[in-house]
Amino acid sequence: MDIDLNGNRCEGIYAAMDIGEIKPVKVIMLTSVTGDDIILDSFTAGAVDYVNKENYKEIPLIMKRAFCAPTYTNTLINEFSRQFKGTHQ
C-alpha cells in the first residue's frame, strides 16, 4: 500500500486502517515518504512491514517474510499470553 495515495500524504495509512477493520490482511507499506512518525503511523495502522520505493528490489523478500513469519502483533499476543499464564497458574 502506498502511503501517498492520490497525492494525499498519509492517505494510504488511513486506507490500511480502514481495510484492517473490515478484514484482517497483511499490509506492506511502500512509499518514498520517510520519517519515524510516518513509519510508526504505518505500523499503528496495522502494517506488517515498510519498504522505501528506492529499495523496491526487497519487495519479494519482504512479502515472503510477511507471509511466512508471524506478525509483530501475533508475537506480542503470544508473549502476553505466555506471561499471563505463567502468573495465573
Enclosing H/E stretch for 17: helix 11-22
Asked if residue 21 belongs to a domain, the reply is yes
Structural domain count of the chain: 1
3-class SS at 8? Answer: strand
Distance CA 84, CA 40 (A): 27
**pTM beyond cutoff 0.75:** no
Q: Give the domain extent around 82.
A: 11-87
* Mean pLDDT over each residue of the chain, to the nearest integer: 82
What does the pLDDT read at residue 75? 64
Enclosing H/E stretch for 48: strand 47-52
pLDDT digits (tens, 9 = 90+) for 29-80: 998 887 888 888 888 888 888 888 998 899 998 888 888 866 666 666 666 6
**Does residue 88 register a pLDDT over 90?**
no
Q: Are 49 and 73 in contact (CB under 8 A)?
A: no
Asked if residue 3 belongs to a domain, the reply is no
Q: Are 41 and 3 in contact (CB under 8 A)?
A: no
